[in-house]
Amino acid sequence: MTHEVIRFIDNNGDVKVGVREQGDSTAHLLSVENLAQLLTLEKAPLLSTIKEALQNAAIAEVSRLLPPVDALTEVWAAGVTYKRSRAAREEESDQPDVYSRVYDAARPELFFKSVAWRVVGPGESIGVRSDSAINAPEPEIALVCNSYGEIVGVTICNDVSSRSIEGENPLYLPQAKIYAGSCALGPGFVPIDQISDIYNLEISVAVTRGGNLVWDGVTSTREMHRTFEDLVSYLFLHLDFPQGVILSTGTGLVPSMEFNLSTGDEVTVGIAHVGTLVNIVKSAANHLQLEA
């Protein structure tokens, strides 16, 4: 059975990091203070640390899952990496040739998505902007990378986005992508040695509203236009990440322009062998009140 690395709150209310068989209510504690410390290790000792914990470490009850990112680990994202993504961006944009050019270019589109403390986890609320007419979930496979630029795990990202703001002008991308409740990760991350073929993973999404399905879709990492290694190499080209980085790799599932996320919608993203991430939509303004 596949195991996963998680951040969680135990029955005493303390934040812990551990490893468990997927879905278990208990986890073996890792010999690190946080996930960021784990990502300072090279790939081989990092994977060994996880395996040793499964065999020897103390066990704690999992009361609530937290997003699998902490401390100074950043979340970045890539865009226009699937053919469907290019078509969707061209559909929404007043400058569609921008997306055609980046789809075919050697250099990928990469952008900053979130600091660790802004990321929401399983069961928590994602946000939509009140100044955006069209908001959409973006189900993506995300690469967990250590400080050496090695892919050490995979997780699920919902790269929630404002399609109307980005479509108005590509220079508005940061406002379309970075706001309260725009980045969800989880439930944990699966070590890379648990994934037999990263280019053959089914990705699904379902949005329900009042108990009714309003949008769903299925794709596969087989449809990726770029390699994961290429995306990571460009991210690390002139940047360093002393406590690792999570790189979300773009979406191949985009709804029609008539679809818009609404407050109360439930968004479920699933990736084969990685897990399922469920979040409820609320206004981004409500997220700001909670942060304050």
Locus of tokens 């400058």: 95
CA dist 141 to 38, 154, 159, 222, 289, Å? 20, 7, 10, 12, 30
Q: How many residues does the chain have?
A: 292
Q: Where are the domains of the chain?
A: 3-66, 74-291
Query: Of the given ranges (55-59, 63-67, 105-109), which has the lowest mean pLDDT?
Result: 55-59
Which structure tokens are listed for 146? 């250590």
| 128-156: average pLDDT | 97
Class in CATH terms, 74-291: alpha beta
- Percent of the chain at pLDDT > 90 equals 84
- Taking only the tens place, the pLDDT of each residue in 78-131 is 999 987 554 555 555 555 567 778 888 999 999 999 999 999 999 999 999 999
Closest to 217 measured CA to CA, from 270, 253, 171, 165:
253
In the structure, what pLDDT confidence band is assigned to residue 287 with cuts at 50, 70 and 90? low
Mean of per-residue pLDDT scores for the chain: 92
Is residue 278 predicted with pLDDT exceeding 80? Answer: yes
CB atoms within 10 A of CB 111: 15
Eight-state DSSP code of residue 270: E
| Rounded-to-integer distance, Cα 135 and Cα 153, Å | 29
- Taking only the tens place, the pLDDT of each residue in 227-274 is 999 999 999 999 999 999 999 999 999 999 899 999 999 999 999 999
State residue 292's pLDDT score.
Answer: 43
| Rounded-to-integer distance, Cα 291 and Cα 180, Å | 9
Is residue 8 predicted with pLDDT exceeding 60? Answer: yes
Q: Is the pTM of this model over 0.85?
A: yes
User: How buried is 260 (Cβ within 10 angstroms: 0-12 exposed, 13-18 middle, 19+ buried)?
Assistant: middle
Peptide bond into 187 cis (omega under 30): yes
